[in-house]
Homo-oligomer: A and B are copies of this chain.
Amino acid sequence: MLLARDLAEDIRARRTTPRDVLNECVLSSAEQEGDIHAFQTFNLQACREAVADEGLAATPLAGLPVAVKDIFDTAGLTTTYGSDFFLDHVPRTDAAVVRQVKRAGGLIFGKTKTTEFAFLKPTDTCNPRRLTHTPGGSSSGSAAAVAAGIVPLALGTQTAGSVLRPASFCGVTGYKPTFRLIPTVGMKVYSWHLDTVGLFGARVADVAFGAGAITGRDLDLADADITPPRFALVRTPRDHLADAGAHAALEAAVRAATAAGATVTEIDIPVEIEAADAAQPVIQNFEGALALADEYDRELLSPMLTIHLREAGTIGAEAYDAARRTSKRARQRLGDLFADYDALLTFAAPGEAPEGLDSTGSPALNRLWTLMGTPCVSVAGLNGPTGLPIGIQVVGRFGRDYRTLAAAAFLERAISG
């Protein structure tokens, strides 16, 4: 995989150039794209023009190529939202985060394949770790492009589990920042209380570097900051949804973290927090049925999404309001919990990537944490019984992204060490 933070340092130290890195990405893409199908659209001509700029090396992203999930508007560049109706759609303006990437000196390498409107209908993207398996979704192409070493960084989004799950399946780092740390303006909305912009990179240090560069916030991790955290291993009534391989991986992570000096306290999830797990689909479905109301009424959706939204459209305002109240109480209770812990440890996915491309797998172990709006990181480095990757989810406190990333980096080092 391409290491974003190291590549940026190499560019700044003149050990390589934005042009050379771009060429490496193009070559990697040429070799692998035929097997992986990560990209909906490439943007190579613009990238080639951009690397002519001598000032690029001094920018925060140092001219690194960034892949963008095709759920974000890109000015002048086809943006399909994974929908046949938008196959030839060319937006007039860039999504806010796309413009932030450009301002930070990143190159928009291309648009990565997404499930239809970032919901469930799979793409033809294959998992670079084993081509017969799904890369997960909905940010399928972004996770695969990083895992294949085509790009050092890629943007994704998560409404239920669409960053953490593909990161786990593909063996890359997925980072879902605090809700709205990165603006969603110019992304196709599915659920306005849930849609969250996230980032894929090789290691925790790479997504931290990328998010810091894009947002201008102090997120880049210095080695010295990675001190042993206080982890809570959080047990939920849904743990049985994780298979034996996922349980073994989580146990291995706990052992590694403990051996490296972290404290790991096993706790049962407070009932007020767990109650929000059932609230998440209510909110996602109610809002999705409104967000895509026009496409639904005009019959522009796949049968899979049509059937789903037909049922979603029956959710009443009272049930929705109740779900929002449940969510609010859970967020408050979760805030209290972080008085005692720096981060929580839990499953990033139910197990290894399932075989076949008919399903992108289940977000059942991610939903709650999306609704909580908390920063989450899928830490790579462990494998399941068949040799495919299994990520460990590190959940931090709302607004404490740096601390969360530092805890995730500690775990990553403990696992690899």
Q: Which residues of A contact B (CB under 8 A)?
A: 75, 85-86, 89, 92-96, 98-100, 102-103, 180, 183-186, 189, 192-193, 215-217, 287, 290-291, 293-295, 297-298, 316-317, 321, 399
User: Within the oligomer, what is the number of copies of this chain?
Assistant: 2
Given contact pairs A183-B192, A184-B192, A192-B180, A93 touches B295 in the complex (Cβ within 8 A): yes
In the complex, chain B residues whose CB is within 8 Å of the CB of A399: 321
| A-B residue pairs in contact (CB < 8 Å), sample of 9 | A75-B294, A94-B294, A100-B290, A180-B193, A183-B290, A183-B291, A185-B192, A185-B290, A216-B317
Q: Is the Cβ of B92 less than 8 Å from the Cβ of A92? A: no
In the complex, chain B residues whose CB is within 8 Å of the CB of A185: 189, 192, 290-291
Selected contact of A96 from candidates B93, B184, B290, CB within 8 Å:
B290
- Give the CA-CA distance A185 to B192 in the complex, in Å: 8
Selected contact of A99 from candidates B216, B293, B316, CB within 8 Å:
B293
Q: Is the Cβ of B183 less than 8 Å from the Cβ of A215? A: no
Which of A98, A290, A294 counts the most B-chain CB atoms under 10 A from its CB?
A: A294
- Give the CA-CA distance A177 to B100 in the complex, in Å: 32
Q: Is the Cβ of A99 less than 8 Å from the Cβ of B183? A: no
- Give the CA-CA distance A95 to B189 in the complex, in Å: 11
- Give the CA-CA distance A48 to B262 in the complex, in Å: 70
- Give the CA-CA distance A184 to B92 in the complex, in Å: 19
Selected contact of A93 from candidates B99, B294, B321, CB within 8 Å:
B294
Q: Is the Cβ of B89 less than 8 Å from the Cβ of A92? A: yes
Given contacts A75-B294, A99-B297, A183-B192, 4 further A-B contacts (CB under 8 A): A185-B291, A186-B294, A217-B317, A321-B399
Which residue of the partner chain B has the closest CB to A215?
B317
In the complex, chain B residues whose CB is within 8 Å of the CB of A294: 75, 93-96, 98-99, 186
Which residue of the partner chain B has the closest CB to A218?
B317
Q: How far is the CB of A271 from chain B (nearest CB, A)?
A: 23
- Give the CA-CA distance A85 to B93 in the complex, in Å: 10
